[in-house]
């Protein structure tokens, strides 16, 4: 009863203040974010004639969003807690620069109640919903009560204030297993765990609490019945200060990893127009229940079998995947945000909003899909993207030569495509993923190609457990053919010859293309590592004709030429009349070949004596290595400790996620080379053991 009274009073205050909607022309806008979304907002602002102000951390001083802005200001160190999450600093910059408004993008301060209230207090327009709506929808337990009152279906669960272990265990037994444990203030998969059985519950609860406290400063949890094969369908809503609200159809975001979206599409496939209308109207009721203003997304769990839907949560901000809604509705949601925030009413009614065609968005990440989608970081030594058009968008905040930082989300870009129907849009997505070529760090592009080509995905047979269900077919053991390995070996040798000739004026005795030839054909031998397998290469040549043997197999006669281009070269080969052309990048002994199957990488194996000199040989055998770049948050052991297999050794923080590293076997700790709080690179020794 007390909840209803409090909520009714908040709604009264919000409704009373609706007439005080800002009516101010926005001529200068600060974007309180970084990377891709900052660049995206600037693009629309520039088109509207609005000047933009960027903020940046020490790590982002040379970033693209800084270059694109009219003005830019440093707001602190790389750590987001000391820069992008410092609302006081950002508001100070906005006032100093003469900005009438702040656009928070997504993440960081976009759903921060205190920041929204501070903006209002200081007379700066916050381009987002009222603070009361952020508060109501940001606390999942509160949002469930409000949605239930508004007639929006909710899923069975526990959303109470009693957070004792005893009460949560009791409620979990009532709900039954499996169940979902969620951070009350969560988002982006953080603070979320699945307890399959009662025996799993306490460990999952503690893990979710720890992660939630780190990410949101709050360890409160809610419990929900876990639907095993749900679809994740969300509805884009938009509302103004005058009580008008519309929905712009729905998106299917079912295919996820680590509870985070990876490919989204709009509209959701396989829904009847009646169900589509019901979802949209429920989303509008949800928005109106909290007097929402601006762009928001109401997320639903859609049962894959009976297509019943239940409210999951509301994201009170612009979503990462908003471009696919724009593609099918012909709208610019950022323009709508700016105009509504400045006091203009919505320019369209529900009847005027039409959808056309189908759109996909693929998120391109620095990560290792086969290694559990562990996030990565590193330099973008080579970057070639599809050409933007009316049907293709590349949303990014990086350029060739930039670095994906360990301090922030590992997303490199979003590839967005539109087609007249789902089949044509999906084919265009696959084609353009092949044209997205990156060297210098590991990405998920090959995985995205395999995912988009998967027969169940092609048939729109999707749900949130899609990747786990199809793990074997999505991650098959791929045998690289001898012809491809031979082509990579040739790419390496031809590139080495060209660079050696340029550097040493053709004095390299190993150059296989010198004009002078002895009366015998020399054979060169070396090793290439592709994946986890080393291959023995033997190679001999005459002019542009080569003989190559892989792993003592048949000798392959190959005609090969190298055509240089900036930062890359084209390798053309002819094997028994089959001509192939590869975009190729070689750097620091790494060979990257791009074709219709995506990227294939090989590493030139150093001789044993060079490995010993570098101190590399045997390092992994007695050490626990960093699986990705990150910050060493905690170390639980010291030299001389005896540990058992499975013992937690250290905690690595990377891309805002916590990773506990455990001992693979029994042993005695020899050394701990890095101190807590230090930045470490991928492959760095964290804990060394006695041999």
Instruction: For residue 19, give the DSSP letter.
Output: G
- Predicted local confidence at residue 617, as pLDDT: 44
State the average pLDDT over residues 245-255.
98
State the average pLDDT over residues 331-354.
97
- Please check the confidence at residue 254 and state whether its pLDDT lies above 50: yes
Paired tokens of 246: 């519309």
**SS3 of 671, please?**
strand
- Please check the confidence at residue 549 and state whether its pLDDT lies above 80: yes
- Predicted local confidence at residue 521, as pLDDT: 60
What is the percent of the chain with per-residue pLDDT over 70, rounded to a whole number? 90
Q: Predicted confidence band at 608 (pLDDT cuts at 50, 70, 90)?
A: low
Higher pLDDT, 459 or 216: 459
Q: CA–CA separation, 455 vs 144, rounded Å?
A: 37
- Please check the confidence at residue 11 and state whether its pLDDT lies above 60: no
- Please check the confidence at residue 288 and state whether its pLDDT lies above 60: yes
Q: Which of 203-207, 381-385, 495-499 has the lowest mean pLDDT?
A: 495-499
Q: Predicted confidence band at 189 (pLDDT cuts at 50, 70, 90)?
A: confident
Q: Predicted confidence band at 567 (pLDDT cuts at 50, 70, 90)?
A: confident
Higher pLDDT, 362 or 652: 362
- Predicted local confidence at residue 663, as pLDDT: 84
Q: Predicted confidence band at 500 (pLDDT cuts at 50, 70, 90)?
A: low
Higher pLDDT, 685 or 683: 685
Q: Which of 182-196, 408-422, 465-479 has the lowest mean pLDDT?
A: 182-196
- 140 neighbors 116 (Cβ within 8 angstroms): no
> What strand order describes the sheet that includes 667-671?
623-625, 685-689, 667-671, 642-643
pTM of the prediction? 0.81
Q: What is the pLDDT of residues 125-157, one digit of tens each?
A: 999 999 999 999 987 778 888 998 999 998 878
Q: Predicted confidence band at 683 (pLDDT cuts at 50, 70, 90)?
A: confident
- Alpha-carbon distances of 305 from 308, 462, 471, 550, rounded to whole Å: 8, 11, 22, 51
- Predicted local confidence at residue 3, as pLDDT: 43
State the average pLDDT over residues 512-529.
64
- Please check the confidence at residue 688 and state whether its pLDDT lies above 70: yes
- Please check the confidence at residue 259 and state whether its pLDDT lies above 70: yes
Q: What is the pLDDT of residues 417-448, one digit of tens each?
A: 999 999 999 999 999 999 999 999 999 999 99
Active-site positions?
A: 317
Q: Predicted confidence band at 22 (pLDDT cuts at 50, 70, 90)?
A: low
Q: What is the pLDDT of residues 83-105, one digit of tens each?
A: 999 999 999 999 999 999 999 99
327 CB-near residues (< 8 Å, 6+ apart): 266, 357, 359, 393, 416, 418
- Predicted local confidence at residue 140, as pLDDT: 72
- 573 neighbors 560 (Cβ within 8 angstroms): yes
Higher pLDDT, 308 or 384: 384
Q: CA–CA separation, 596 vs 552, rounded Å?
A: 28
Mean pLDDT for the chain? 88
State the average pLDDT over residues 240-256.
97
Q: Predicted confidence band at 371 (pLDDT cuts at 50, 70, 90)?
A: confident
- Please check the confidence at residue 637 and state whether its pLDDT lies above 80: yes
Q: Predicted confidence band at 234 (pLDDT cuts at 50, 70, 90)?
A: very high
164 CB-near residues (< 8 Å, 6+ apart): none
Phi, psi of 548 (to 5 degrees): -130, 135
- Please check the confidence at residue 510 and state whether its pLDDT lies above 50: no
- 404 neighbors 366 (Cβ within 8 angstroms): yes
Highest mean pLDDT among 455-469, 588-602, 643-657: 455-469
- Predicted local confidence at residue 611, as pLDDT: 44
What is the percent of the chain with per-residue pLDDT over 90, rounded to a whole number? 68
Beta strands in 19-135 (DSSP E): 28-31, 51-56, 71-74, 101-103, 125-126
99 CB-near residues (< 8 Å, 6+ apart): 28, 29, 30, 53, 124
State the average pLDDT over residues 485-514.
67
- Predicted local confidence at residue 242, as pLDDT: 96
- Please check the confidence at residue 684 and state whether its pLDDT lies above 90: no
Paired tokens of 458: 């092609």
Q: CA–CA separation, 388 vs 304, rounded Å?
A: 35
State the average pLDDT over residues 575-586.
91
Q: Predicted confidence band at 576 (pLDDT cuts at 50, 70, 90)?
A: confident
Higher pLDDT, 624 or 613: 624
Q: Which of 100-104, 113-117, 182-186, 255-259 has the lowest mean pLDDT?
A: 182-186
**SS3 of 82, please?**
helix
Q: CA–CA separation, 325 vs 247, rounded Å?
A: 10
Q: What is the pLDDT of residues 302-335, one digit of tens each?
A: 987 777 899 989 999 999 999 999 999 999 999 9
Residue ranges in 558-682 assigned as alpha helix (H): 608-614
Instruction: For residue 229, give the DSSP letter.
Output: S
State the average pLDDT over residues 551-568.
90
- Predicted local confidence at residue 680, as pLDDT: 87
- Predicted local confidence at residue 515, as pLDDT: 39
Phi, psi of 388 (to 5 degrees): -60, 150
- Please check the confidence at residue 18 and state whether its pLDDT lies above 50: no
Cis peptide before 7 (omega within 30 of 0): no
- Predicted local confidence at residue 14, as pLDDT: 44
- Please check the confidence at residue 13 and state whether its pLDDT lies above 60: no
Q: Between vectors from CA 168 to CA 137 and to CA 196, what angle results, nearest 5°?
A: 95
């Amino acid at each position: 009863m007390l909840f209803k009274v409090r909520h009714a009073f908040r709604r009264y205050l919000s409704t009373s203040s609706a007439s005080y909607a800002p009516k101010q022309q926005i001529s200068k806008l600060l974007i309180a974010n970084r990377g891709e979304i900052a660049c995206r907002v600037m693009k629309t602002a520039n088109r509207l004639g609005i000047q933009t102000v960027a903020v940046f951390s020490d790590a982002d001083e040379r970033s693209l969003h800084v270059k694109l802005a009219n003005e830019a200001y440093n707001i602190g160190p790389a750590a987001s807690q000391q820069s992008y999450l410092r609302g006081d600093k950002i508001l100070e910059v906005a006032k100093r620069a003469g900005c009438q408004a702040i656009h928070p993008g997504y993440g960081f301060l976009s759903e921060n109640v205190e920041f929204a209230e501070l903006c209002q207090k200081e007379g700066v327009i916050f381009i987002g919903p009222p603070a009361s709506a952020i508060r109501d929808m940001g606390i999942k337990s509160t949002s469930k009560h409000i949605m239930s009152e508004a007639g929006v279906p909710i899923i069975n669960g526990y959303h109470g204030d009693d957070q004792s272990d005893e009460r949560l265990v009791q409620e979990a037994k009532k709900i039954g297993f499996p169940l979902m444990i969620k951070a009350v203030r969560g988002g982006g998969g953080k603070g979320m765990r699945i307890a399959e059985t009662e025996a799993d519950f306490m460990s999952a609860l503690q893990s979710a609490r720890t992660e939630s406290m780190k990410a949101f400063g709050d360890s409160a949890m809610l419990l929900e019945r876990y639907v095993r094969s749900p679809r994740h369908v969300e509805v884009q809503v938009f509302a103004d200060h005058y009580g008008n609200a519309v929905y712009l159809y729905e998106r299917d975001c079912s295919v996820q990893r680590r509870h985070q979206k990876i490919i989204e599409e709009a509209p959701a496939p396989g829904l009847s127009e009646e169900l589509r209308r019901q979802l949209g109207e429920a989303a509008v009721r949800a928005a109106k229940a909290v007097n929402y203003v601006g762009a928001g997304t109401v997320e639903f769990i859609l049962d894959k079998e009976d297509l019943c839907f239940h409210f999951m949560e509301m994201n009170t901000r612009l979503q990462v995947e908003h471009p696919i809604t724009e593609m099918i509705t012909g709208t610019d949601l950022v323009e709508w945000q700016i105009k509504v925030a400045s006091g203009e009413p919505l320019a369209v009614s529900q009847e005027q909003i039409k959808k056309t065609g189908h759109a996909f968005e693929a998120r391109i990440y620095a990560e290792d899909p086969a290694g559990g989608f562990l996030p990565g970081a590193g330099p973008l030594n080579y970057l070639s993207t599809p050409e933007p058009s009316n049907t293709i968008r590349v949303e990014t905040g990086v350029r060739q030569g930039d670095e994906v930082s360990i301090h922030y989300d590992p997303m490199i870009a979003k590839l967005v495509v539109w087609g007249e129907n789902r089949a044509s849009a999906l084919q265009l997505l696959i084609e353009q993923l092949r044209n997205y070529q990156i060297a210098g760090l590991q990405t998920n592009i090959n995985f995205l190609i395999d995912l988009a080509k998967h027969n169940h995905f092609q048939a729109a047979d999707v749900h949130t457990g899609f990747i786990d269900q199809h793990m074997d077919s999505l991650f098959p053991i791929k045998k690289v053919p001898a012809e491809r390995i031979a082509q990579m070996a040739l790419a390496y040798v031809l590139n080495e010859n060209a660079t050696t000739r340029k550097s040493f004026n053709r004095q390299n005795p190993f150059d296989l293309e010198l004009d002078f030839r002895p009366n015998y054909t020399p054979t060169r031998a070396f090793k290439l590592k592709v994946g986890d397998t080393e291959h023995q290469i033997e190679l001999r040549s005459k002019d542009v004709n080569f003989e190559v043997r892989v792993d003592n197999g048949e000798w392959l006669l190959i005609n090969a030429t190298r055509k240089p281009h900036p930062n890359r070269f084209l390798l053309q080969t002819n094997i028994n009349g089959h001509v192939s052309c590869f975009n190729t990048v070689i750097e620091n002994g790494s060979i990257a070949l791009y074709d219709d199957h995506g990227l294939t990488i090989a590493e030139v194996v150093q001789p044993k004596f060079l490995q010993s000199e570098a101190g590399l040989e045997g390092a992994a055998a007695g050490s626990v290595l960093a699986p990705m770049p990150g910050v060493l948050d905690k170390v639980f052991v010291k030299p001389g400790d005896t540990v058992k297999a499975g013992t937690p050794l250290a905690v690595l923080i990377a891309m805002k996620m916590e990773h506990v590293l455990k001992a693979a076997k029994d042993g005695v700790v020899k050394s701990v080379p890095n101190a807590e709080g230090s930045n470490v690179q991928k492959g760095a020794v964290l804990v060394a053991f006695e041999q």
